[in-house]
Amino acid sequence: MTAFVIGAAVLAAAAVWIVLAGLRPRAAASRGADAARVNRDALKAQLQQLDQDLAAGTLDADAHARLRTELARRLLEAPAEEALHDARVGTRTRWALLLAVPLLAAALYAAVGNPQALKPGAAAAQRELTQQDVEAMVAKLAERLDKQPPGRVEDLEAWTMLGRSYAVMQRFAEASRAYGRALQLAPDDPQLLADQADVMAMLQGQSLEGEPLKLIEHALRLDPSQPKALALAGSAAFDRKDYAAAAAYWERALAPAPADSEFAQGLARGIAEARKLAGTAAPATPGRGSADAKTAAGPDGAGEAPAAAIRGRVSVAPALAARIAPGDTVFVFARAASGPRAPLAILKRPASALPFDFTLDDTQSMAPQLRLSAFPQVIVGVRVSKSGDALPASGDLEGEAGPLPHRRDGVDLTIDRVRP
């Protein structure tokens, strides 16, 4: 069986595996997930992916027709949806499946796929697959990768796909090993860091404390808006009963999520529970980008009456305006005037939004011990990144204000210099 047929078969079987194996429940707080609903959502996502591949020219019409017919049949045969059980957002495996299955669909094509090579003779891959079939195919992929010389950059997507396959199969030790190999090739990939944190948490009794939390914090330093890292950071905050912080992390993860996605719906339920336990305002509705929080605290969804908050406006010096492209990324952050240089709060905006108003407060913290309210004097900075990377690089455009007290309104933050 070729690498692509292996990958295509795993792709077709991913949703079936979820039904066969079931979802590993979190502690007693969760009442389980609706596997049939996840199955149908995954099949719909795969149908959309096939259509996109056809439009992009990476899949010929015959192969598209065969695969689409098979997936459509599976969708029609899928069990009717039952009433969804409310499950707490902290259900780690639920997040893993909801985030991993659509990514797995794309990664299978990118990592091992040659869609043009899918000929009529490969139709056997479309037969009904058992749990044993899936395990055998994933084992073949793992065997192929193990035979490759270590450190091959071209194997990055293959190791990532293997890790996600193992995670869907709830073989978390193997998933962690595969993610570890991928992270050797891309140590600063925020998605990989979040994926590794997730499976490592499962290996230590669904606890995010220790190394998983360090990986999450690293991912958020690299990309403060990484959805899975934000979701897991919210779960960690919920576990330590910091319900306001949990809601804040999940609000940030919710903002870009499609309103009708299971991910958004689960986040909204978790936000509602966290806010209820914290005794704060009503939660956001999926797709509204945490509208309720924004009503209470201004355009950046800062939360209710934070202990520390800095508000102001970012602008660009006329001499540098021509050097900023609409697709650049703007990071606004606060760091301690005296103490650690790690950001205490950070937000991310597209450069096309310039000039814009901002709010920094404790809800944008990336680590419990590094909060704006813990440092009376801070430096507020802004940086424009061409790459979208949160880490500074030569040629970035920057600006700075301070030292300032950690409660201040009307801060003028101007992008006025080039990083050497």
Residue 300 lies in a domain: no
> Do 199 and 345 reside in the same domain of the chain?
no
Return the pLDDT at 86: 38
Averaged pLDDT for residues 302-319? 75
- Counting residues of the chain whose pLDDT is more than 90, the rounded percentage is 15
Shared domain for 65 and 165, answered yes or no, is yes
Asked which of 206, 240, 274 is the last residue of a domain, the reply is: 240
Identify which has the larger pLDDT, 113 or 256. 256
Query: Global pTM?
Result: 0.48
pLDDT score of 307:
64
Window from 77-91, 330-344, 347-361, 390-404 with minimum mean pLDDT: 77-91
Q: What is the pLDDT of residues 137-179, one digit of tens each?
A: 777 778 887 777 665 655 787 788 888 888 877 788 989 999 9
Using alpha carbons only, what angle is made at residue 219 by residues 217 and 224, rounded to the nearest 5 degrees?
A: 90
Q: Alpha-carbon distance 321 to 418, whole Å?
A: 12
> Is the bond preceding 355 in cis, omega lying within 30 degrees of 0?
yes
- Give domain status of residue 315, yes or no: yes
Number of domains in the chain: 2
Of 240, 275, 293, which one is at a domain's C-terminal end?
Answer: 240
Written as one string, the DSSP assignment of 41-94 is HHHHHHHHHHHHHHHHTSS-HHHHHHHHHHHHHHHHHSPPPPPPPP--TT-HHH
Residue 247 falls within a domain, yes or no? no
For residues 184 and 333, membership in a common domain is answered with no
The whole-number pLDDT of residue 68 equals 59
Domain annotation covers residue 168: yes
Using the structure block, give the residue that is written with the tokens 């305002």. 281
- Please tell me whether residues 153 and 46 are part of one structural domain: yes
Specify if 269 maps to a domain.
no
pLDDT at residue 375, as a whole number: 86
pLDDT at position 399 is: 93
For the stretch 188-240, pLDDT in tens is 999 999 999 999 988 887 888 899 999 999 999 988 888 889 989 988 988 88
pLDDT mean over 83-103: 42
Distance of alpha carbon 148 from alpha carbon 49, whole angstroms: 29
Flag whether pLDDT at 257 surpasses 90: no
Least confident among 108-117, 184-193, 267-276, 312-321:
108-117
Q: Is residue 62 part of a domain?
A: yes
- Which structural domain range is residue 121 located in? 3-240
Q: Which among 404, 269, 412, 279 is positioned nearest to 345, based on CA atoms? A: 404
Which pairs with CB-CB distance under 8 Å and at least 24 residues apart come from 25-30? 25/91, 25/93, 26/87, 26/88, 26/90, 26/91, 26/92, 26/93, 26/94, 26/206, 27/206, 29/88, 29/90, 30/87, 30/88, 30/90, 30/91, 30/94
* Whether 97 and 185 share a structural domain: yes
One domain, residues 225 and 343: no
Identify the pLDDT of residue 353: 87
**Residues 89, 179 within the same domain:** yes
Place of tokens 């991912």: 219
Confidence of residue 295 (pLDDT cuts 50, 70, 90): very low
Find all residues with CB under 8 Å of 188, minimum gap 6, and list them: 222, 391
* Pair type for strands 417-418 and 397-405: antiparallel
Question: Which of 37-46, 375-384, 385-394 is least confident?
Answer: 37-46
- 219 and 134 within one domain: yes
The SS3 assignment for 29 reads: coil
Of the three residues 240, 267, 294, the one that is the final residue of a domain is: 240
- Indicate if 325 and 236 belong to the same structural domain: no
Task: Report the share of the chain in percent with pLDDT over 70.
Answer: 58
How many residues does this entry show for the chain? 420
Q: Is the peptide bond before 403 cis (omega within 30 degrees of 0)?
A: yes
Domain match, 235 and 345 both: no
d(CA 33, CA 38): 8
**Joined tokens for residue 158:** 């293959």
Mean residue pLDDT across the chain: 70
- Name which of 28-32, 66-70, 220-224 the model is least confident about: 28-32
Separation of alpha carbons 181 and 31, rounded Å: 34
Report the Cα–Cα distance between both ends of the chain, in Å, rounded: 53
The pLDDT assigned to 195 comes to 92
Answer yes or no: do 224 and 367 share one domain: no
Kindly report the CATH number assigned to the domain that includes residue 194. Answer: 1.25.40.10
Q: What's the pLDDT tens digit per position in 103-125?
A: 444 444 344 444 443 344 444 44
Report yes or no on 264 lying in a domain: no
Q: Are residues 317 and 232 in the same domain?
A: no
Give residue 291's pLDDT band: very low, low, confident or very high (50, 70, 90). Answer: very low
Amino acid (1-letter code) at residue 122:
A
Residue 303 lies in a domain: no
Instruction: Say yes or no to pLDDT of 286 above 50.
Output: no
